[in-house]
Chains A and B, each alone.
Chain A
Amino acid sequence: MVAELGHFALILAFVVAIVQMIVPLVGAQKGWRNWMAVADPAATLQFGLVALAFGALTYSFVVSDFSVRLVWLNSHSDKPMLYKVTGVWGNHEGSLLLWVLILTLFGACAAWFGQGLPERLRARVLAVQSSLAVAFMAFMIFTSNPFWRESFPPLNGQDLNPLLQDPGLAFHPPFLYLGYVGLSMTFSFAVAALIEGRVDAAWGRWVRPWTLAAWMFLTVGIALGSWWAYYELGWGGFWFWDPVENASFMPWLISAALLHSAIVVEKREALKAWTILLAILAFGFSLIGTFIVRSGVLTSVHAFANDPFTGTFILVILAIFMGGALTLFAMRADRMEAKGVFGTVSRESALVLNNILLAVSAFVVFIGTIWPLVSELAFDRVLSVGPPFFELAFTPFWVALALILPVGSILAWKRGRLDKDRRVLTALACFAVAVGALVWALQTGRTALGPVGVALGIWVIGGAGYDLIKRTGKSGLGRLFRLPRADWGKSVAHAGMGVTVIGVAALMAWETEDIRVAQVGDSYEVSGYEVTLVDVREQVRGPNFIATEADIAMAKDGRQVALLTPEKRIYPVAQMPTTEAAIANGFWRDLYVVIGDRQEAGGYAVRVYVKPFANWIWAGCIIMALGGILSLSDRRHRVAAGAPKMRAVPAE
């Protein structure tokens, strides 16, 4: 009954979405205010209905209603409650429903908070947003319906993939989708502006908070995913350049570029066409990501449903929206000439450089991701592109980005001068290089990656600090905490990037790994730590798994620093083993321990990693996201929302 209610709500939402797609658009074209006014209540209603559908599906999972096919396929009555709930989006159909829920949530938010937008622009934005909802709801209702029933309900379910039964997964997809789908807002704004044929500073100001929010969620989502892979997959890496990871990384890079170019539109009315293009591409890459995950066109560890029909449907959606938007762009781009001119040494130029570097690095990731497909179809050669390519091709652009960041961020608009800052910047650069050299001297004979990364990180963090201090101007440091939150946001986000750079470089350069077969009671040394396999317990029963548990003590200088309990679990229902690494988190290093199978000759395979600075990677991401929140909460956004009303509406 509840499932049918959800199904019905979904179909009703589909109908509302169709109305919202057409009526306001026609209204905006003809100037009929009452037609345009349909958009607001429709957006709210649409969101309410989808939320109802989502609630119904969640309910079916919570009460383990196995007559619903999706619940039967992805749940089990023995599963802990948390994973019954997260199981809702741990599968193709359910995750689509979450996707649509967030899509309509953003639409509703645009209706709720967009009161300051010009009437026509708002009607068009909501109509475009709704057209996306129509496409995805049609996809769900006609090909991947989560509400199908089984005519003969089985007694118990088939369990969720054990790898997905983890708190990290509970929040990874929702954040990622908030990011992906958040970019639909910038897409809708871009298309609405193209239909209108006008982009001005106000447009830049409206579009930025949405981009910022989406980028922030994407940052958190990607960080959660990477963290989850780090501790759950048990092979100790944090990033694998898998097609699906890349699919989330490309929109992140593009939205980071958009974030910066929208500032130029807002402040200087330049780079308009480029910004519109980025806004379209950012969402385009989200869609391409969806396509890659769900079509099976590229082989990936994440692949959901490898069904060509599903793939074709998403490809059609992709073709309509991207093809349509880009064609519209081609027709209207000439109307977006730049107003301001700027010198070579200026904030604008630095931001252009930033955009080029971000876009090119996104392009590199893109090429690496689709190259297997291109090469197979064009040259008849099957191959896989591995991390070495990405590390080699991607790193230089980020090194360049980190190098220009502190300089660019303190330059003035229009015509910048660096004379006054030269001394501070030189001092900072010297300090960064000195620390890098010190690190180089300490590590002797290892890759240059570590020292370079540390120096770059310090350069970026120091630059962010100097930027903030410089902002206080003549009034001195006392003003520091009265600076606009946007200034803080900028510096915090930049510093976060510095922290991540240090973490990534240090981890990749100095990680140590030890694999061996150890007997219970054995003690040995791994890079300064004394590792002891204290005890191993087999056949330990969990709620829906059976585990082998080990106690491993780690000591340094005779003092025990951690007692770790890694597990190897077997999930009998899903017939799948998982590795539960045990990690002792630390500021300077992570100790990471994995227990393997019992060996035939006795003893257990034990893997021990010492991972320096590992937490800095995710800490940096969180700091970046925090910067985003600070910037979003700036007074300017709250006040500016109402500001455009003051502008005279041009007579038609």
Chain B
Amino acid sequence: MNKAVVFIPAGVFGALAGLFLVGLMRDDPDALPSALVGQDVPEITSEALAGYATFDSSVLREDGVKVVNFWASWCPPCRAEHPALMELAAEGVPIYGVNKSDQGGDAVGFLEELGNPYAAITVDLRGRQSLDWGVVALPETFIVDGEGVVRFRFAGPIHGVMESTILPELEAAGR
């Protein structure tokens, strides 16, 4: 048997272990810079989810701090962060949901099962709007101030960082 070949499994495993180690050690797995911060909100055209209120970007320019949340029923982290959104909604923060690429009734099923934290929802079937917002993975959460300017962006589920990040950022945005 070829001498070099037999070392491949060990080598691959070494690389994998290294990857896991770096993965564990990263201090903030979800920190991503966003070019959007400080900019006006990108256009959102309304596309209603059957039975729910909808919104477009003009709503985001109205007074008061609000949250824009990109989600889908097929995304496990969205499910994980859902209770945190419900909490925010209960505290009176208006949350606008952009549902991405959901099939048929899946989105409705998700909301019926877990409850609806969203003040209004728009559907982004083709992923066009997510592209405009620079969304790379679900879920993503944006904080928009009273002028319609994006103040903060968070990629990944927010339920673990409510106290440390989301609430202070809401505060900073003028809530």
Please determine whether B17 and A277 come into contact, CB atoms closer than 8 angstroms.
no
Cβ of A319 < 8 Å from any Cβ of B?
yes
Cβ of A387 < 8 Å from any Cβ of B?
yes
Please determine whether B109 and A607 come into contact, CB atoms closer than 8 angstroms.
yes
Please determine whether B10 and A373 come into contact, CB atoms closer than 8 angstroms.
no
Number of interface residues of B (CB under 8 A): 46
Interface residues of B in 3-44 (CB under 8 A from A): 3, 6-7, 9-10, 13-14, 16-17, 19-26, 29-30, 32
Cβ of A326 < 8 Å from any Cβ of B?
yes
Q: Secondary structure of the B side of the interface?
A: helix
Q: How far is the CA of A597 from the CA of B10 in the complex (A)?
A: 53
- In the bound complex, residues from chain B placing their C-beta under 8 Å from that of A577 are 114-115
| Contact for A383 among B16, B29, B80, B137, CB less than 8 A | B137
Cβ of B76 < 8 Å from any Cβ of A?
yes
Size bracket, chain A contacts:
35 or more
- In the bound complex, residues from chain B placing their C-beta under 8 Å from that of A300 are 76
Cβ of B136 < 8 Å from any Cβ of A?
yes
Please determine whether A596 and B137 come into contact, CB atoms closer than 8 angstroms.
no
Interface residues as binary, B58-81 with A (CB distance below 8 Å gives 1, 0 otherwise): 000000000000000111110110
Please determine whether B75 and A386 come into contact, CB atoms closer than 8 angstroms.
yes
Please determine whether B29 and A329 come into contact, CB atoms closer than 8 angstroms.
no
Which residue of chain A has its CB nearest to the CB of B50?
A515
On whether A381 and B136 interact (CB within 8 A), knowing A318-B17, A333-B6, the answer reads: yes
Q: How far is the CA of A374 from the CA of B138 in the complex (A)?
A: 17
Which residue of chain A has its CB nearest to the CB of B33?
A380
Q: How far is the CA of A329 from the CA of B10 in the complex (A)?
A: 8
On whether A315 and B20 interact (CB within 8 A), knowing A382-B136, A607-B109, the answer reads: yes
Please determine whether A319 and B76 come into contact, CB atoms closer than 8 angstroms.
no
Interface residues as binary, A506-525 with B (CB distance below 8 Å gives 1, 0 otherwise): 00000001110100000000
Interface-located stretch among A68-76, A234-242, A400-408, A553-561: A234-242
Please determine whether B155 and A308 come into contact, CB atoms closer than 8 angstroms.
no
| Contact for B13 among A284, A308, A594, CB less than 8 A | A284
Which residue of chain B has its CB nearest to the CB of A579?
B113
Which residue of chain A has its CB nearest to the CB of B79?
A301
| Contact for B110 among A235, A284, A306, A513, CB less than 8 A | A235
Q: How far is the CA of A373 from the CA of B156 in the complex (A)?
A: 13
Please determine whether B24 and A382 come into contact, CB atoms closer than 8 angstroms.
no
Interface residues as binary, A367-406 with B (CB distance below 8 Å gives 1, 0 otherwise): 0001011101100011110110000000000000000000
Interface residues of A in 114-162 (CB under 8 A from B): none
Please determine whether A315 and B109 come into contact, CB atoms closer than 8 angstroms.
no
Please determine whether A299 and B77 come into contact, CB atoms closer than 8 angstroms.
yes
Cβ of A562 < 8 Å from any Cβ of B?
no
Please determine whether A323 and B25 come into contact, CB atoms closer than 8 angstroms.
no
Max chain A C-beta neighbours (<10 A), residue from B6, B26, B80: B6
Cβ of A527 < 8 Å from any Cβ of B?
no
On whether A297 and B24 interact (CB within 8 A), knowing A334-B1, A382-B32, A577-B114, the answer reads: yes
Q: How far is the CA of A409 from the CA of B73 in the complex (A)?
A: 42
Q: How far is the CA of A319 from the CA of B21 in the complex (A)?
A: 10
Cβ of B88 < 8 Å from any Cβ of A?
no
Q: How far is the CA of A273 from the CA of B2 in the complex (A)?
A: 12
Q: How far is the CA of A236 from the CA of B73 in the complex (A)?
A: 12
Max chain B C-beta neighbours (<10 A), residue from A299, A301, A322: A299
Q: How far is the CB of B173 from chain A (nearest CB, A)?
A: 23
Cβ of A539 < 8 Å from any Cβ of B?
no
Cβ of B84 < 8 Å from any Cβ of A?
no
| Contact for A297 among B3, B14, B23, B30, CB less than 8 A | B23
Cβ of B104 < 8 Å from any Cβ of A?
yes
Please determine whether B13 and A330 come into contact, CB atoms closer than 8 angstroms.
no
On whether A297 and B20 interact (CB within 8 A), knowing A284-B13, A383-B136, A384-B138, the answer reads: yes
Q: How far is the CA of A242 from the CA of B115 in the complex (A)?
A: 22
Q: How far is the CA of A306 from the CA of B159 in the complex (A)?
A: 13
Cβ of B92 < 8 Å from any Cβ of A?
no
On whether A373 and B74 interact (CB within 8 A), knowing A235-B113, A381-B136, A596-B113, the answer reads: no
Q: How far is the CB of B15 from chain A (nearest CB, A)?
A: 10
| Contact for A301 among B16, B73, B80, CB less than 8 A | B80
Cβ of B162 < 8 Å from any Cβ of A?
no
- In the bound complex, residues from chain B placing their C-beta under 8 Å from that of A240 are 76
Q: How far is the CA of A104 from the CA of B10 in the complex (A)?
A: 27
Cβ of A447 < 8 Å from any Cβ of B?
no
CB-defined A-B contacts under 8 Å, sample of 17: A235-B73, A235-B106, A281-B9, A299-B76, A301-B76, A308-B25, A329-B6, A333-B6, A334-B1, A373-B19, A377-B22, A377-B26, A382-B137, A384-B77, A579-B113, A597-B115, A607-B109
* Chain A interfacial positions (CB closer than 8 Å to B): 234-236, 240, 242, 273, 277, 280-281, 284, 291, 295, 297, 299-301, 306, 308, 311-312, 315, 318-319, 322-323, 326-327, 329-330, 333-334, 336-337, 370, 372-374, 376-377, 381-384, 386-387, 513-515, 517, 577, 579, 594, 596-597, 605, 607
In addition to A318-B17, A376-B29, 16 A-B residue pairs with Cβ atoms within 8 Å of each other are A235-B73, A242-B76, A281-B9, A299-B157, A306-B160, A323-B17, A333-B6, A334-B3, A334-B6, A374-B19, A381-B136, A382-B32, A515-B108, A577-B114, A579-B113, A597-B115
* Chain B interfacial positions (CB closer than 8 Å to A): 1, 3, 6-7, 9-10, 13-14, 16-17, 19-26, 29-30, 32, 51, 73-77, 79-80, 104-106, 108-110, 112-115, 136-138, 155-157, 160
